[in-house]
Amino acid sequence: MSARQRDRLKIPFKNCRGGICAPQGFLAAAERAGLKKAGLDLAIIFSDAPASAAACFTLNQCAAAPVQLCRRHLKEGSGKARAILINSGCANAGTGLQGVRDARSTVNAVAQTLNIPLTSVLVCSTGVIGLRLQAQRIIAALPACARRLSRKEGARAARAILTTDTVLKVESLAFKMGGRAVRIGGIAKGAGMIHPDLATMLAFITTDASIAPARLQEHLNWCVERSFNCITVDGDTSTNDTVIALANGASGIDVGKDTGMGRHGDTGTLTASPRRRVTASSATNLQKDLSLYFSASPRRRVTASAYPELFRAALLEICQRLARKIAWDGEGSTHHLEIEVTGAKSFRQARNVGRSIGRSNLVKTAIYGHDPNWGRVLSAVGASGERIVQSRIRLSVNQRVVAEQGVLKNIADSVFDPIWRKKRIHIAVDLGLGEHRAVCWSCDLSHEYVDINASYRT
Amino acid sequence: MSARQRDRLKIPFKNCRGGICAPQGFLAAAERAGLKKAGLDLAIIFSDAPASAAACFTLNQCAAAPVQLCRRHLKEGSGKARAILINSGCANAGTGLQGVRDARSTVNAVAQTLNIPLTSVLVCSTGVIGLRLQAQRIIAALPACARRLSRKEGARAARAILTTDTVLKVESLAFKMGGRAVRIGGIAKGAGMIHPDLATMLAFITTDASIAPARLQEHLNWCVERSFNCITVDGDTSTNDTVIALANGASGIDVGKDTGMGRHGDTGTLTASPRRRVTASSATNLQKDLSLYFSASPRRRVTASAYPELFRAALLEICQRLARKIAWDGEGSTHHLEIEVTGAKSFRQARNVGRSIGRSNLVKTAIYGHDPNWGRVLSAVGASGERIVQSRIRLSVNQRVVAEQGVLKNIADSVFDPIWRKKRIHIAVDLGLGEHRAVCWSCDLSHEYVDINASYRT
């Protein structure tokens, strides 16, 4: 959602500085351990106080060692955590029990260095699969890293977790509740092996809101479904996908009260509002509903009963921004794809159709080559595995209708020349079957993608 | 299966000449209608007598007009057909009702020209999606095409159906039953948009065996699952995928008797034989079982009770050869991938794992770049959606073990130099979960794939 759209919708979020260190009580640090050929490759995110922790991990059945260890610590630590250790340069995946032992030795060192319980340390790795983790290098770099811990190190930590990424992925938002500021910050990495399944790449989100681990997990699951699980770069689900959210309560604002949010169910819509109207934008239904909720009286102080909804909307906004940054930083990409599917029977149907388009090598190469071969989009809709009705499909590209009732229009190629000059290509598909929608993000497939991945290890 | 393997297994197939015209009573012809920029683009396959027809079509929900018309004709013609009209250069997909009308006008012209019933004509198209079919050009070229019909035109017909293909895909086999020769021939096209789902690209198979349409359809379904549905080039399921088999009975040999083949079920194994043993080769379980059946007395005349099994094995052989040719002619490919998955709980599990590897852009680019990044294969196994146990996976490449118990070995890159010099890369995955296996075929992902598909229409 652009700042303009947000203003128009009057959702009371404000961008703020600081990334993961924007919320009170969170510190970060980064160091070079020597796992990558050059540059920072080690980061710590630290919470002054025990924070509620929620996480989503890859559904890849060959989950990496750090993923296995994180799962165990979250369980044994009753959903509370203090620190996250992250390294780039080595995924510590396909490394068996030795990999788990290596990960544990680094986590142990973090617990001792920071004087916190072992199970309050989470760990994530990203990089080459199958290499043994050089745990000693990490352990040797830890004291220097710990000494750097401060609120000003958020950007360096965001840099330390990158691999083939070309841009930093940092976001932070502030909003008022009961006259107090609550903040959410997040960083992420990812540019290849991006086709998250129920969770994704690496993303770390911090907030000073107060919320129980179980509620935070509910919110995170809901938001991940609508953000990281809506992106694809190459259709390859990673072994290390992880999203972790920490909430330390430092703002003193409790956003965990139950206000019947279960009603929204899987569809992302609030219970019917007479004023609800579907408009074309990349905001989610929830955001639109919220906007109507808040726009009724934009200056009114948010009442406590709306805290959970506002918090979830802000969490979703952070997740979607980070997810979009990952998709649009896709390896070798030259165009950003936004795929909006409307008229679906369910959110899931809409998303599956969107991801099928975003995953199609043929759609992606056509866009790279500025070839208005929209038939490939139609084919990808049909190949999504979802039951659709061909004769109801309406397809448009940057507001230009290219197919109606499932029939492609005969449009001169030159009509699309202005579209190719834009970085962002917006593909809208209306399935004509229902009222649900989803937005997915992807990128084109270029020679550079082949270059990058034909020699990733070397 | 190589000729050597076949000899060793003593399956009584022989290669023969003639492709789709090898079986008695089948004629073919090709012409230029002017749908492609250059070269042949129109073909007819014709049976002297009404033939039992079976077909598998794409599960892409945006099925092309010719697919819709074929389905109707097969139903209305009670599973009998005389002719197949095929054009390249235009897929007649995404063309709505107009597309069906255009396809029908060409089928009508074929029926009149050849003086056969309308419903005995099937029709297939391949090429650009979304273009209207230039039916008049086809109709104008039909008389000349019909005049060319002969047994010698098989190769020209095989050429006329190609688009981005670089090699002809023609196969024919002969075998003896009751002292008489029975033949099966086939042609296929396809190099991109290859990720067949229950059916595939274009493939046409003829035989002079005698068999009822329903039995032929059973055999075809079974064989397609183990051949065309085991290949992938780019993960994109086409709108026009079609396999048609015609059996005209001209050999006088009935292969349609029921001998309890239902027992083989979905797994491709005959009921247990004490001598059964799993060996590493690309032959299917059925073929191995048959080999044991026949090798008991290789010179013995095949008894009538074995006709259905032998016929199905020959049909499978043709389907697998054509499928492999498609995968290995993948757009821009420089290496042929054969992925053998063993130790699976079911054939379907084995195939899903194999296709997940064959579909992975990261595996494909690594092989293109001669980067022994086998962790990507492990990741693709885990991302297949199948329940597997990481610690049981054993992975080898051209007989060299690269991972055991889910742990990648530390092997010097130079060890793989001899493998990269080979055109064919054989990836073997043992899941350690059961006794089922599948073989899948794919190719690498190169700069040329991007080139071809960035400017397919232009």
DSSP string, B5-46: HHHHHT---EE-S-GGGSSTTEEEEEE--SSSSSS--EEEEE
Q: In whole angstroms, what is the distance from residue A416 CA to residue A140 CA?
A: 56
Residue identified by tokens 């979607």 is A320
Could you give the dihedral angle defined by the CA atoms of residues A28, A32, A38 and A40, in that order, rounded to the nearest 10 degrees? 0
Chain B positions in Cβ-Cβ contact with residue A352 (cut-off 8 Å): none
The residue of chain A nearest to residue B371, with distances taken between CA atoms, is A455
Asked whether the beta carbons of A408 and A324 are under 8 A apart, the reply is no
Give the whole-number percent of chain B exceeding pLDDT 70: 84
Asked whether the beta carbons of A404 and A394 are under 8 A apart, the reply is yes
Q: pTM for the whole thing?
A: 0.77
The residue of chain B nearest to residue A454, with distances taken between CA atoms, is B369
Closest approach of chain B CAs to the CA of A12, in angstroms? 39
Q: In whole angstroms, what is the distance from residue B213 CA to residue B431 CA?
A: 38
Instruction: Say which of B58, B95, B126, B200 is annotated catalytic.
Output: B200
pLDDT at A456: 66
Q: How many residues does chain A have?
A: 458
Inter-chain contact A383–B237, Cβ cutoff 8 Å?
Answer: yes
Inter-chain contact B129–A379, Cβ cutoff 8 Å?
Answer: yes
Handedness of CA B403, B404, B410, B415 (dihedral sign): negative
Q: In whole angstroms, what is the distance from residue A76 CA to residue A101 CA?
A: 17
pLDDT at A401: 96
Of A61, A98, A193, which has the smallest distance from its Cβ to B362's Cβ?
A193
Q: In whole angstroms, what is the distance from residue B321 CA to residue B342 CA?
A: 20
pLDDT at B274: 29
Inter-chain contact B371–A458, Cβ cutoff 8 Å?
Answer: yes
Kindly give the interhelix angle for A447-454 and B361-368, rounded to the nearest 10 degrees: 70
Closest approach of chain A CAs to the CA of B164, in angstroms? 14
pLDDT at B169: 87
- Quick: pLDDT tens for A285-342: 444 444 444 444 444 556 777 788 888 888 888 888 888 888 888 888 899 999 999 9
Bridge partners, B23 (sequence order): none
Of A238, A379, A449, which has the smallest distance from its Cβ to B62's Cβ?
A379
Q: In whole angstroms, what is the distance from residue B390 CA to residue B3 CA?
A: 36
How does residue B457 score in pLDDT terms, banded at 50, 70 and 90?
low
Q: In whole angstroms, what is the distance from residue B406 CA to residue B413 CA?
A: 19
Residue identified by tokens 């010179």 is B299
pLDDT at A4: 47
What is the average pLDDT score of chain A?
83
Chain B positions in Cβ-Cβ contact with residue A131 (cut-off 8 Å): 375
**3-class DSSP state for residue B203?**
strand
Give which of A58, A133, A355, A362 to mutate to test B binding, by max B Cβ within 10 Å: A362
pLDDT at B197: 53
- The answer to whether residue A265 scores a pLDDT higher than 60 is no
Asked whether the beta carbons of A27 and A21 are under 8 A apart, the reply is yes
Q: In whole angstroms, what is the distance from residue A71 CA to residue A59 CA?
A: 13
- The answer to whether residue A1 scores a pLDDT higher than 50 is no
Q: Is A200 a catalytic residue?
A: yes
Q: In whole angstroms, what is the distance from residue B314 CA to residue B317 CA?
A: 5
Strand order from edge to edge, sheet including B436-443: B407-408, B400-404, B394-397, B424-430, B336-344, B436-443
Closest approach of chain B CAs to the CA of A182, in angstroms? 38
